[in-house]
Amino acid sequence: MENTKKLVVYFTYTNNTKKIAEKIKAKLNCDILEIKPVKPYDTDYDTVVRLEQNNETAKKTPDIQSINVDFSKYDEIILGTPVWWYTIAPVIRTFLKQNDLSGKKIVPFATNGGWIGRTFQEIKELCPNSNIENEMNIVFEGSDMQTPEKEVENWINSL
């Protein structure tokens, strides 16, 4: 089985997205890449809310740490983002704007507290020449996953 063709790319703030990304990596035995902002977000959630709550309308693109990955090796990108104000996290927006994923299959998953809003729609807009499919919405309450574990496992197995 060819394992070098899939890459899990994710950003995490509370580690919920990281938990899912690591499950995928373990199950599929594929490569993984965490996207990190150059200037880390404050560890205080309320501060981040105050500073970032206009993200959806502002479409912020914070600087991200340099990525040393040859995306041409991968046919499929499994893309994980927390939902910030009903859309993708700004760090993921920066990643998608800076990297041409044309012709690739992108399988997005979103971790969130309830409503994903425009998350998957924005990914489609930022990757117009990619094949986006098999989206997965994974709901958490704090650090407790609300989406049934079996549902997440079945989704991962379908990848």
Position of tokens 């070098």?
A: 4
Query: Structural domain boundaries of the chain?
Result: 6-158
**What pairing do the DSSP bridges indicate for beta strands 87-88 and 76-84?**
antiparallel
Asked whether 64 and 31 are in contact (CB, 8 A), the reply is no
Higher-pLDDT residue of 56, 43? 43
What would the mean pLDDT of 5-31 be, rounded to a whole number? 97
- Determine the pLDDT at residue 1: 43
- Whether the pTM exceeds 0.85: the reply is yes
Point out which residues pair with 8 in neighbouring strands.
32, 78
Q: Residues 107-149: pLDDT tens digits?
A: 999 999 988 999 999 999 999 999 999 999 999 999 999 999 9
CATH topology of domain 6-158: Rossmann fold (3.40.50)
| First CA to last CA distance, the chain | 13
